[in-house]
Amino acid sequence: MTQLNWSDPPSQTAFPVAKAGYPFIFASAFATAVFALLGVGWLAALGLFATGFICYFFRDPDRLVPTGEGIVVSPADGKVIKVEPVDRTPYFVGACTRISVFMSVFNVHVNRVPHEGTIRQVTYNPGKFFSANLDKASTDNEHNALLLESPEGKKVGFVQIAGLIARRIICGVQSGDELKRGQRFGMICFGSRLDIYLPPETDIRVGVGDRVQAGSSILGKW
């Protein structure tokens, strides 16, 4: 049986929300209050619905993370849309396996580290905003690529890719940071995709169409 532990301290609130969502929530709540004071009922109701959805979108649930050598967990909630060998990439030297996880606006959008190790490189690239489920989104869209080296010397690449309506990639780590498996490291606001690049010898444990959760679903093991 796989053992589980916390990579981040559990939240002290019943409904944890990512800090990045606070400005959106406060702005929507303020507008709702103004509409209510002005007696514009339908706008107040719309504002209340929008505030509730924004709180839902920025939810940040605690996750128990699998322990054990060589386990790679999903960095994102969503649906696996690609599992394929790749001969070369801008982020990884040599052949590797790419797993793409598509996040709809209904998924948790907080991203987590797929494996413990040291961040060796963080590269941000501005770009376009094609739908994140398209092939060209990997290279043409705005994205932020991270390269991690595990304690065993294995390399793991994971790339935050903006989607059609996503307009903000958040990354809270930098080169040289030591991170734990399943630790929060950032998020992408309003629909997006994560590409994960794994060594070719990784035993892949997911397939196209699978639903995964950040920090808790095992993508593969070496």
Q: Which residues are catalytic?
A: 192
Instruction: Provide φ and ψ at 34, rounded to 5°.
Output: -65, -45
Tell me how crowded residue 14 is: count the other CB atoms within 10 A of its CB.
5
Tokens representing 146 are: 């991270």
- DSSP β-ladder status, 169-171 and 71-73: unpaired
Q: 3-state DSSP call for residue 86?
A: strand
Determine the number of helices (DSSP H) and then strands (DSSP E) in the chain.
Answer: 3, 16
The span from the first CA to the last CA of the chain, in angstroms, equals 17
Q: What is residue 21's DSSP assignment?
A: G
By the 8 A CB rule, do 192 and 77 touch?
A: no
Tell me how crowded residue 139 is: count the other CB atoms within 10 A of its CB.
14
CA distance 160 to 170: 9
